[in-house]
């Protein structure tokens, strides 16, 4: 079971206090809590500079080798396949490379994005056979490939060179590709190891243009940064170092994007391009790109990002909006189905459930919601078109889901699962048809024997503030620290014994929570908790025994944000957690 503990961050050291004295007190603290201890570091952080801070792409191992091979393929007019992953990192990364090809008027290429439901992640041997038949001479992977040892070996044996561009961890054996561009591999000297897949591809294109300009205007590549920002935020890589730089400028490009598909999409979801922030990528743009692979095929998202016709862009945007709604509906339906199956007063030690009717593409996010609601580790499954059982799992913190699955297989963890993997908190699995009942029995038995761990999640507050201190002036001090995300979190503030003025639930039958508070001058400030009440008017499973009604006093952890809902700026709070005051 995951337990939560609140704590204030430790005070600044006297040395850092003196070093950062030119900044306001709150800014000094926020910089220090993000690892910034010198004026030079603070200047680079608060005032990113593209020319000064961009790293040399040729510091990446095999970058020159990969660039030279691509230039040779272009010179020879060889058939090239862009092989991208099917998520909101791989798809924008694929668009980055195809945009470059289109700009130099190279046409002898195709983009292949696998089917999430019916193909394995990354390269697969069947597709390589097709590429051989099509006389393909070069495959360039994006956001995948680093674990595809056998598939790369097959391609190379069939006279197809492979350039891997990836950002995932390298397994024991590195594929024998013509070039492997992944900063996480041994012997790589690139200073920043945390680029997204699309970020790696952006660096690859920059390296190509540094080698041969193709008469492309200087600075053209900067127009690719909207794609890098979408991928970096959506893939939840750390927004530190070069990632923060690329996202900072990528948001500037996104606010004036030339991509017709993005213009149409932003208009459809009622976001003015000039107002786009990283949250809009996280909660609006990214989910719609990902909904393509989850609910239909990722190629639809690729076509949106490359659309040149207004009517086509609108049709695809409508399709993605429909699929995104289907995704939400699918999650809600599974949650409802499980609520009818489970007795909340007598829950099993772990939850294992599935149905052929459940959407494969939403099992991961649904598992997370089930963990939040019931406080149990969860395994959910469905079936693909071939009848194979495929699923996702999430831990409540007490179990290592990969170890549980290993214990459920025939020693040495083979025979029962066709495939499984992941990390302690999340994973995936597949197995042959007609093993659903056995899956429950094996996982339950394995979980019973597995080592249990009590996980205490420490929620750190940057500062303790009063309601009266939550002003536009305070927000202006926070704003230069954006873009926020993994590794660069939004500042969290602790409000003690604040009195609720109003309570309401809104959206999709009451999924969201709004608390209203009054300042001493009588003005009001709202606090929003999106998806904070999956059971309308009953948030007890999230906030324990907190009584949410007017007149009650509570402690809150919140972030401060500018909402542009209806394109009107409003200062509001975003709820991180609530508890009874001491």
Q: What is the pLDDT along the chain (582 residues), one digit of tens a residue?
A: 567 899 999 999 999 999 999 999 999 999 999 999 999 999 999 999 999 999 999 999 999 999 999 999 999 999 999 999 999 999 999 999 999 999 999 999 999 999 887 777 789 999 999 999 999 999 999 999 998 999 999 999 999 999 999 998 887 899 999 999 999 999 999 999 999 999 999 999 999 999 999 999 999 999 999 999 999 999 989 999 999 999 999 999 999 999 999 999 999 999 999 999 999 999 899 999 988 888 888 899 999 999 999 999 999 999 999 988 888 888 888 988 898 888 878 899 999 999 999 988 889 889 988 988 888 999 999 998 888 899 999 998 889 998 999 898 865 445 788 888 877 888 889 898 888 889 999 999 999 999 888 767 889 999 999 999 999 999 999 999 999 998 999 999 999 999 999 998 887 667 788 999 999 999 999 999 886 764 544 544 467 678 888 999 999 999 999 998 777 899 999 999 999 998
Residue 24: both structure tokens together: 């306001």
pLDDT of amino acid 385: 82
Instruction: Give the pairing type, strands 553-563 and 524-529.
Output: unpaired
Query: Would you state the pLDDT for residue 544?
Result: 66
Report the CATH number of the 342-453 domain: 3.10.310.30
Peptide bond connecting 479 to the previous residue in cis, omega within 30 degrees of 0? no
Q: What pLDDT sits at residue 509? A: 66
Nearest to 270 by CA among 236, 324, 321, 319: 321
pTM for the full predicted model: 0.88
The pLDDT of residue 541 is 47
> Which strand (E) or helix (H) includes residue 578?
strand 570-579
Kindly report the number of other CB atoms within 10 A of residue 121's CB atom.
16
Domain over 2-10+459-579 is classified CATH 3.40.350.10 = no
| 540 vs 533: CA distance, rounded Å | 8
Domain 57-223 has CATH 3.40.50.10860: no
> 175 with 197: CB under 8 angstroms?
no
- In whole angstroms, give the CA distance from residue 420 to residue 400: 13
Q: Cα 424 vs. chain centroid, distance in angstroms? A: 18
Domain boundaries, the chain: 2-10+459-579, 57-223, 342-453
Structural contact between residues 111 and 302, judged by C-beta atoms closer than 8 angstroms: yes
List phi, psi (to 5°) of 316.
-70, -40
Distances (CA, A) of 246 to 48, 97, 141, 183: 9, 17, 21, 16
Identify the sign of the CA torsion 304, 427, 196, 275.
positive
Strand order of the β-sheet with 417-423 is 351-354, 378-383, 389-394, 426-431, 417-423
Q: What is d(CA 363, CA 389) in angstroms, rounded to the nearest whole number? A: 12
**Long-range contacts of range 448-453, CB-CB < 8 Å, 24 or more positions apart?**
448/349, 449/407, 450/399, 450/400, 450/403, 450/404, 450/407, 451/400, 451/403, 452/398, 452/399, 453/397, 453/398, 453/399
Two structure tokens written together for 552: 């009650």
428, 432, 435, 436 alpha-carbon torsion, rounded to 10°: 50
Distances from the Cα of 443 to the Cα of 2, 288, 346, 404, 490, angstroms: 20, 33, 18, 7, 38
* Residue 240 near residue 194 (C-beta atoms within 8 A): yes
- φ, ψ (nearest 5 deg) of residue 180: -120, 110
């Amino acid at each position: 079971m995951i337990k939560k503990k609140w704590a204030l961050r430790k005070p600044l050291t006297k040395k850092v206090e003196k070093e950062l004295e030119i900044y306001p007190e709150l800014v000094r603290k926020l910089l220090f809590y993000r690892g910034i201890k010198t004026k030079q570091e603070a200047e680079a952080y608060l005032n990113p500079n593209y020319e000064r801070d961009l790293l040399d792409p040729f510091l990446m191992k095999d970058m020159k080798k990969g660039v030279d091979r691509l230039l040779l393929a272009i010179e020879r007019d060889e058939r090239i396949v862009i092989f991208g992953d099917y998520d909101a990192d791989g798809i924008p990364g694929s668009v980055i490379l195809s945009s470059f090809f289109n700009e130099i008027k190279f046409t002898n290429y195709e983009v292949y994005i696998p089917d999430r439901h019916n193909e394995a992640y990354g390269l697969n041997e069947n597709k390589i056979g097709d590429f051989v038949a099509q006389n393909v001479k070069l495959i360039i992977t994006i956001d995948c490939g680093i674990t595809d040892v056998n598939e790369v070996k097959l391609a190379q044996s069939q006279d197809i060179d492979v350039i891997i561009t990836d950002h995932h961890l390298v397994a024991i054996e590195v594929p024998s590709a013509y070039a492997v561009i992944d900063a996480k591999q041994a012997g790589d000297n690139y200073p920043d190891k945390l680029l997204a897949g699309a970020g790696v591809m952006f660096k690859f294109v920059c390296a190509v243009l540094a080698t041969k300009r193709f008469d492309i205007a200087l600075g053209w590549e900067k127009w690719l940064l909207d794609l890098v920002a979408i991928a970096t935020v959506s893939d939840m890589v750390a927004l530190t170092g070069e990632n923060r730089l690329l996202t900072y400028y990528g948001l500037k490009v996104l606010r004036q994007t030339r991509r017709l598909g993005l213009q149409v999409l932003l208009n459809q979801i009622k976001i003015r391009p000039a107002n786009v922030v990283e949250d809009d990528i996280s909660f609006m743009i990214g989910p719609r790109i990902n909904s393509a692979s989850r609910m239909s095929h990722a190629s639809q998202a690729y076509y949106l990002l490359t659309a040149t016709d207004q009517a086509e862009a609108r049709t695809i945007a409508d399709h993605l909006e429909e699929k995104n709604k289907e995704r939400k509906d699918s999650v809600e339906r599974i949650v409802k189905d499980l609520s009818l199956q489970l007795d909340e007063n007598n829950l099993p030690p772990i939850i294992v459930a599935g149905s052929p009717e459940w959407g494969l593409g939403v099992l991961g996010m649904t598992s997370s919601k089930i963990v939040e609601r019931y406080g149990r580790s969860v395994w959910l499954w469905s079936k693909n078109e071939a009848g194979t059982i495929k699923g996702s799992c999430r831990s409540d913190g007490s179990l290592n889901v990969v170890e549980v699955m290993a214990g459920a297989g025939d020693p040495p963890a083979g025979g029962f699962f066709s495939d499984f993997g992941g990390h302690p908190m999340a994973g995936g699995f597949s197995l042959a048809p007609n093993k659903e009942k056995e899956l429950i029995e094996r996982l339950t038995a394995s979980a019973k024997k597995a080592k249990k761990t009590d996980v205490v999640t420490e929620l750190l507050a940057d500062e303790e503030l009063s309601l009266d201190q939550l002003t536009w002036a305070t927000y202006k001090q926070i704003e230069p620290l954006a873009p926020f995300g993994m590794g660069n979190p939004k500042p969290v503030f602790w409000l003690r014994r604040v009195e609720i003025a109003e309570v309401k639930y809104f959206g999709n039958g009451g999924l969201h929570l709004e608390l209203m508070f009054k300042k001493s001058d009588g003005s009001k400030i709202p606090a929003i908790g999106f998806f904070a009440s999956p059971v309308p008017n009953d948030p007890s499973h999230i906030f324990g025994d907190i009584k949410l009604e007017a007149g009650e006093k509570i402690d809150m952890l919140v972030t401060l944000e500018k909402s542009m809902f209806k394109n009107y700026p409003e200062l509001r709070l975003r709820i991180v957690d609530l508890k009874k005051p001491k």
